Chain A
Amino acid sequence: KNEVEQSPQNLTAQEGEFITINCSYSVGISALHWLQQHPGGGIVSLFMLSSGKKKHGRLIATINIQEKHSSLHITASHPRDSAVYICAVRGGGTSYGKLTFGQGTILTVHP
């Protein structure tokens, strides 16, 4: 079992729908990252959070440290949101920023 589990693995939505991607982890962390990988292959950091909630445009990320769970929400989804969304956790202490990744969620938004 991976230390970081994402669900669902595949998600198909119609344009305008509200989308939620979940991430659960089993280790102690100092921060959690949400990354986006477009079909072209590049990886972009969307959020880094260690508590509470962050919002950027139509994207919202939340984390519950006690429950070891995070969610990424996309409001009013658009076809350009189609990408792989990856959850990654950063260990604490002397981990030097080492990230452990989930397996990714493939999101397809149809017009």
Chain B
Amino acid sequence: DTAVSQTPKYLVTQMGNDKSIKCEQNLGHDTMYWYKQDSKKFLKIMFSYNNKELIINETVPNRFSPKSPDKAHLNLHINSLELGDSAVYFCASSQRGQTYEQYFGPGTRLTVT
């Protein structure tokens, strides 16, 4: 039973398009994250939500908009895609007040052509 799932796993699209990546966790956690992994495998946090409230918002272009309809879901919408957005995007979840151990989704490989 998958703990943190993401869809789609692969996404190939053209510059200028708008796309969304979905993330769901069934661990009962109250905090979810989006990370971007670049071509050199370097991970960097983008956003975090706690109980549907945005709590971390790093320096990310405003073309990226996260949305959390409930605490089990955190989606990432990207407008006007650019070549530099090509990366692997990971969703993760954790529970505040405990260990903050994070559980990662399988990643979504986004390729912008």
A44 B104 Cβ-Cβ under 8 A: yes
Q: Contacts A41-B106, A42-B104, A43-B90 hold; do A96 and B40 have CB atoms under 8 A apart?
A: no
A43 touches B42 (CB 8 A): no
Query: CB distance B88 to A41 under 8 Å?
Result: yes
Tell me the chain B residues, 20-71 only, with Cβ under 8 Å from chain A.
31, 33, 40-45, 48, 50, 55-56
B43 touches A101 (CB 8 A): yes
Q: B31, A97: Cβ atoms under 8 Å?
A: yes
Complex CA distance for A80 and B48, rounded to whole angstroms: 33
Q: How many residues on chain B are close to A (CB under 8 Å)? A: 26
Q: Bound complex: CA of A43 vs CA of B4, how far in Å?
A: 11
Measured between beta carbons, the chain A residues less than 8 angstroms from B40 are 103
The complex places the Cα of A96 from the Cα of B103 at a distance, in Å, of 15
Q: Which of B88, B102, B104 contacts A97, CB < 8 Å?
A: B102
B contacts, CB < 8 Å to A: 31, 33, 40-45, 48, 50, 55-56, 88, 90, 92, 94, 96, 99-104, 106-107, 109
A97-B33, A97-B100, A99-B102 known; 17 other A-B pairs, CB under 8 Å?
Answer: A30-B100, A33-B102, A35-B104, A42-B104, A43-B90, A44-B104, A45-B104, A48-B101, A96-B31, A96-B50, A96-B96, A97-B102, A98-B56, A99-B43, A99-B45, A101-B44, A103-B41
A residues lining the B interface (CB < 8 Å): 30-31, 33, 35, 37, 41-45, 48, 84, 86, 88, 90, 96-101, 103-104, 106
